Amino acid sequence: MPSPPIAGKKRGFVVPIGGAEDKMHARVIHERFLKLSGKGEARIVIIPTASRLKDTGERYAALYKELGAGEAFHLPILRRSDCEKPEYLNLLETATGVFLTGGNQLRLTTIMGGTTLARNLRRLNAQGVHVAGTSAGAGFLSEHMIAGGSAGATPTQSGVILAPGLGLTNAVVIDQHFRQRDRLGRLLTALSYNPFAIGMGLDEDTAAFLGPNGVFEVVGSGGVTVVDPSTLEYSSMASAAPGQPVSLVGLKLHILTNGARFDTKSREAKIAG
């Protein structure tokens, strides 16, 4: 579950991005996140832990400085002990926006999971700090994280690997690079295990700005595939053998593009305009 709300404060936005977001031209997703975080007064903390590239944190910090952030810096968290360093924890407390880069989401769970830094990040989001993540960083934001699985459009028994995520929201299960890597089947498999959460499949260069009211807006050049299992009538998951396709009857599916909104509480979609 997300950290409990703080009296008198609104939760920060949770912003999963489908990966490969525009960092060279219009940069609408990063511009939107920076504006949300305070623009010229923003303090953006980059967490590049998912990436094995040494310059990932520096490149994102430079991007946000170029866009006009008041301050932008990265925390080089490479091992679990780094998540307990007072200097990193103190810097995190000053953030108005936190950005988790792409890479391997299991690096995020194995390095950050259960640490003081992860707990503090959950608390800060409950206090109003906005948190975004791209690619692996996006998958890590939710309570249940897709850690791997099979490509293809058909759900299969054992077709997805799930792991605990950061838990900033339990309303959605997130998958990224969605259309580009043909990941509908593994998202459907994740939902078939327990059709409580909403499936959110993010195309590349596309983000969902999920606000404290439970409504998210689509921003970017691609689409967000929303799978609502609340009307599910039948699932064969319990009787399917490993690797077999799974029947799902009664799902509701939406494809939402830039400017469209979805209310995760009422399960209502509204197109732009």
Tens digit of each residue's pLDDT (9 = 90 or more) over 118-147: 999 999 999 999 999 999 999 999 999 999
Residue 86 CB contacts under 8 Å (≥ 6 apart), including other chains: none
Cβ neighbour number for residue 181 with a 10 Å cutoff: 14
Confidence bin at 88 (pLDDT 50/70/90): very high
Closest-CA residue to 217 (of 1, 67, 29, 5): 29
Closest-CA residue to 207 (of 149, 130, 143): 130
Q: pLDDT at residue 4 above 90?
A: no
User: Is 254 a catalytic site residue?
Assistant: no
- The better pLDDT of the pair 3, 199 is held by 199
Instruction: Please compute the mean of the pLDDT values over residues 218-246 and round it to a whole number.
Output: 97
Of the residues 144, 177, 192, 235, only one is catalytic, namely: 177
User: Which amino acid does the sequence have at 179?
Assistant: R
Of the residues 37, 51, 135, 235, only one is catalytic, namely: 135
Burial class (CB in 10 A: 0-12, 13-18, 19+), 38: middle
User: Which amino acid does the sequence have at 69?
Assistant: A
Question: Taking the mean position of all CA atoms in its chain, how far away is CA 109?
Answer: 13
**pLDDT confidence of residue 68:** 98
User: Which amino acid does the sequence have at 229?
Assistant: P
- Describe the strand order of the beta sheet including 172-175 as a list of residue ranges: 172-175, 198-202, 223-228, 252-257
Backbone angles phi, psi at 92, to 5 degrees: -60, -35
Distance set, CA 204 to CA 19, 77, 129 (Å): 5, 26, 24
**pLDDT confidence of residue 5:** 79
**Cβ burial 93-104 (10 Å sphere, 16+ → b, else e):** eebbbbbbbbbb
* Tally: H helices and E strands in the chain: 7, 17
User: How many percent of the chain have pLDDT more than 90?
Assistant: 96
Closest-CA residue to 130 (of 70, 44, 205, 206): 44
Q: What is the CATH number of domain 14-260?
A: 3.40.50.880
Of the residues 21, 204, 217, 235, only one is catalytic, namely: 204
User: How many percent of the chain have pLDDT more than 70?
Assistant: 100
**pLDDT confidence of residue 34:** 98
Tens digit of each residue's pLDDT (9 = 90 or more) over 236-253: 999 999 999 999 999 999
Confidence bin at 90 (pLDDT 50/70/90): very high
Q: What is the mean pLDDT of the chain?
A: 97
Q: What is the CA radius of gyration of the chain?
A: 18
Distance CA 158, CA 150 (A): 9
Cβ 151 vs Cβ 186: under 8 Å: yes
Distance CA 204, CA 223 (A): 8
Distance CA 113, CA 92 (A): 16
Q: pLDDT at residue 169 above 80?
A: yes
Question: What pTM, to 2 d.p., does this model score?
Answer: 0.98
Domain range list for the chain: 14-260
Confidence bin at 93 (pLDDT 50/70/90): very high
Cβ 164 vs Cβ 144: under 8 Å: yes
Confidence bin at 6 (pLDDT 50/70/90): confident
Distance CA 173, CA 201 (A): 8
Tens digit of each residue's pLDDT (9 = 90 or more) over 178-206: 999 999 999 999 999 989 999 999 999 99
Q: pLDDT at residue 273 above 80?
A: no
User: Is 135 a catalytic site residue?
Assistant: yes
User: Is 177 a catalytic site residue?
Assistant: yes
Backbone angles phi, psi at 223, to 5 degrees: -130, 165
